[in-house]
């Protein structure tokens, strides 16, 4: 589709802005702009204000670097949570994914990326020193690496392991294996191999 | 996916706002919000301002009801265009689609919808009186109906035809037929039947 001749510069600009969002082409951008034109003016102003406030007012938690409205995020602030257990993740989205499971009651450390020579991201670009400082304080008993099961994730785990091994802290990594619901036929050999190596004692799960 | 526990209310609000857009779920909305957090602050402010200005400042052309920044849209204002030829369309998006073809040099009339009993849209909800007024002024020679090839489109054409037949104006409708690139095998019988009825003298198109 060529760029249509818009009869309105305002519409043209809004479409251009929407089309900058990830995964949004000009056609979808136009649909969004026309959708907003049909909404009540107050709703659109709320939308606009929300975007601006998000970018201007959001902070990084001074403890874990997670996204936060205050200096310390609600997770680090939560006295119910175990702050001797720290899960190290790539970004704020991964925190959400893990929180979503409802299975984790420790705290986090957000690195702000993973080591990726392809994208030019090295250890110095990540919040590794801050993690070392937290460990050095002595209250942390266990560190869990929770990275994607990719070469970059493995590299980051290995690098962090070496940096943290001088501290007396337990280091673990989230389990890799056959995903729940996956059939063995369709599981790749590396995953299947690892899941055999890392087999666990069989347990009959009781419903709570 | 359940709603994740966001560590930031600002993020939560932005995700909710994005998720109101057509075709955007919470997961994509989150991706958009996190994307904006990584963009320069000025860019995000431009995005936010563009949305707000779009909704607050856009106007409807007082002649054709198309979206416009000024009282009269650039199409109605264009002295090169034939204002004795009026193409009647459902909405501003259809104007864009037709402009995109580069084949039309008349002007438009945007109805603001089509007659749809299912959605409770009747003739009174559309800008039909304004169209009659334009025709009554006497400069219009031909009206082209350019609606979707649906029951609603056909109903609207038929209704408008009856309303406009009292004026001495030529009324036509865009051609229906086998779409360019479509194979006959896969063309539905109604379309194929119509394209036989509405056959045209064969012409060898010369390259200009």
pTM of the model: 0.78
- Count of domains observed in chain A: 2
Considering only residues A194 and B3, tell me which one the structure prediction assigns the higher pLDDT.
Answer: A194
Measured in angstroms, the CA of B161 and the nearest CA of chain A are apart by 27
Nearest Cα of chain A lies from the Cα of B55 at a distance, in angstroms, of 6
Supply the pLDDT for residue B191: 83
Residue A65 lies in a domain: no
Q: How far is A58 from chain B (nearest CA, A)?
A: 7
Residues of chain A by 3-state class (helix, strand, coil), percent to 5: 45, 15, 40
Expressed as residue numbers, the domain containing B181 is 70-207
Span of A86-90, B11-15, B95-99 with lowest mean pLDDT: B95-99
CATH label of the domain that carries residue B43:
1.10.8.420
Q: To the nearest whole angstrom, how far is the Cα of B2 from the nearest Cα of chain A? A: 7
Residues 79-138 of B with CB under 8 A from A: 91-93, 95-97, 99-100
Distance from CA of B189 to the nearest CA of A (A): 29
Chain B partners of A11 at a C-beta cutoff of 8 Å? 54, 58, 67
Q: Residue A4 falls within a domain, yes or no?
A: no
Both A95 and A181 in a single domain? Answer: yes
Q: Are residues A35 and A77 in the same domain?
A: no
**Using CB atoms within 10 A of its CB, is residue A20 exposed (0-12), middle (13-18) or buried (19+)?**
middle
A48 and A79, same domain (yes or no): no
* Averaged pLDDT, A121-135: 94
- Residue B45 sits at the chain A interface (C-beta within 8 Å): yes
Nearest Cβ partner for A35 among B13, B21, B48: B21
Q: Helices A41-57 & B9-19, crossing angle to 10 degrees?
A: 140
- Looking from the CA of B93 toward its CB, the CA atoms found within 13 Å total 17
Residue range A154-178: average pLDDT?
90
Neighboring chain B residues of A17 at a CB cutoff of 8 Å: 46-47, 50-51
Which residue among B4, B7, B95 sits closest to A73, beta carbon to beta carbon? B7
Same domain, A91 and A43: no
* Residue A31 counted as domain residue: yes
Instruction: Name chain B contacts of A33, Cβ cutoff 8 Å.
Output: 54
CB contact set of A140 (below 8 Å; sequence gap of 6+): A83, A84, A85, A86, A134, A169
Residue B63 belongs to some domain of the structure: no
Q: Which residue has the higher pLDDT, B90 or A195?
A: B90
* Mean pLDDT along residues B31-60: 95
Site from A41, A54, A56 to mutate, B interface, most B CB atoms within 10 angstroms: A54
B42, part of any domain: yes
Is pLDDT at A196 greater than 70 in this prediction?
Answer: yes
Q: What is the pLDDT of residues A58-113, one digit of tens each?
A: 999 999 999 999 999 999 999 999 999 999 999 998 998 888 888 899 999 999 99
List the structure tokens of B115.
């007659």
Kindly give, in sequence order, each residue whose CB lies less than 8 Å from that of residue B139, ignoring residues fewer than 6 positions away.
B83, B84
pLDDT: which is higher, A137 or A199: A137
Q: Are B136 and B129 in contact (CB under 8 A)?
A: no
Are B137 and B161 in a shared domain?
yes
Mutate to test the interface with B, among A51, A53, A56, A70 (most CBs of B within 10 A): A51
Residues A23-46 have pLDDT tens digits of 999 999 999 999 999 999 999 999
For A58, the closest of B5, B8, B93 (CB atoms) is B8
Is A184 a residue whose pLDDT tops 90?
no
Mutate to test the interface with A, among B54, B61, B73 (most CBs of A within 10 A): B54
Q: Are B92 and B173 within one domain?
A: yes
Residue B136 within a domain: yes
pLDDT at B182: 82
The SS3 assignment for B105 reads coil
**A63/B contact by beta carbon, under 8 A:** no
**A3 assigned to some structural domain:** no
Given an 8 Å threshold on Cβ–Cβ distance, is A32 in contact with B49?
no
* Shared domain check, A136 and A87: yes
Q: B169 in contact with A at a CB cutoff of 8 Å?
A: no
Q: Is the CB of residue B168 less than 8 Å away from at least one CB of chain A?
A: no
Say if residue A87 is in the same domain as residue A25.
no
Q: What is the mean pLDDT of residues A175-195?
A: 82
- Residue B95 is assigned to a structural domain of this protein: yes
Q: Which chain A residues have a beta carbon less than 8 Å from that of B90?
A: none
Residues B94 and B193 in one domain: yes
In degrees and rounded to multiples of 5, residue A73 shows phi and psi of -75, 160
Q: Among B26, B13, B3, B32, which residue's Cα sits nearest to residue A58?
A: B13
In a shared domain, residues B94 and B188: yes
ipTM over 0.85: no
- State the pLDDT at residue A177: 84
Tokens of residue B203, six digits: 């012409």
User: What is the average per-residue pLDDT within A127-144?
Assistant: 94
Render pLDDT for B112-158 as a digit per residue (tens, 0 to 9): 999 999 999 999 999 999 999 999 999 999 999 999 988 899 999 99
Lowest pLDDT segment from B31-40, B80-89, B188-197: B188-197
**Chain B: nearest CA to A127, how far in angstroms?**
16
- B81 lies in the same domain as B42: no
The CATH number of residue B201's host domain is: 3.40.1360.10
Angle of CA points B95, B100, B102, to nearest 5°: 110
Determine which of A48, A81, A93, A125 to mutate to test the interface with B (most B C-beta atoms within 10 Å): A48
Residue B32, judged by CB atoms within 10 A of its CB (0-12, 13-18, 19+), counts as buried
Same domain, B135 and B35: no
């Amino acid at each position: 589709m060529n760029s249509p001749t818009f009869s309105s510069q305002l519409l043209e600009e809004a479409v251009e802005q929407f089309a900058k969002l990830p995964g949004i082409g000009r056609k979808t951008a136009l649909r969004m702009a026309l959708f907003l034109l049909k909404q009540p003016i107050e709703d659109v102003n709320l939308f606009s204000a929300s975007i601006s406030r998000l970018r201007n007012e959001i902070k990084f938690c001074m403890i874990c670097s997670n996204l936060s409205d205050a200096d310390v995020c609600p997770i680090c602030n939560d006295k119910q949570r175990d702050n001797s257990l720290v899960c190290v993740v790539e970004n704020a989205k991964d925190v959400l994914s893990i929180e979503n499971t409802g299975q984790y009651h420790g705290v986090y450390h957000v690195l702000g990326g993973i080591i990726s020579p392809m994208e030019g991201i090295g250890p110095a670009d990540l919040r590794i020193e801050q993690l070392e400082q937290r460990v050095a304080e002595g209250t942390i008993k266990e560190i869990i690496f929770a990275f994607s099961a990719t070469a970059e994730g493995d590299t980051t785990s290995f690098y962090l392991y070496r940096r943290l091994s001088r501290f007396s802290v337990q280091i673990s990594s989230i389990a890799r294996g056959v995903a729940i619901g996956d059939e063995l036929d369709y599981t790749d050999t590396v995953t299947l191999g690892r899941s055999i190596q890392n087999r666990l004692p069989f347990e009959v799960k009781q419903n709570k």
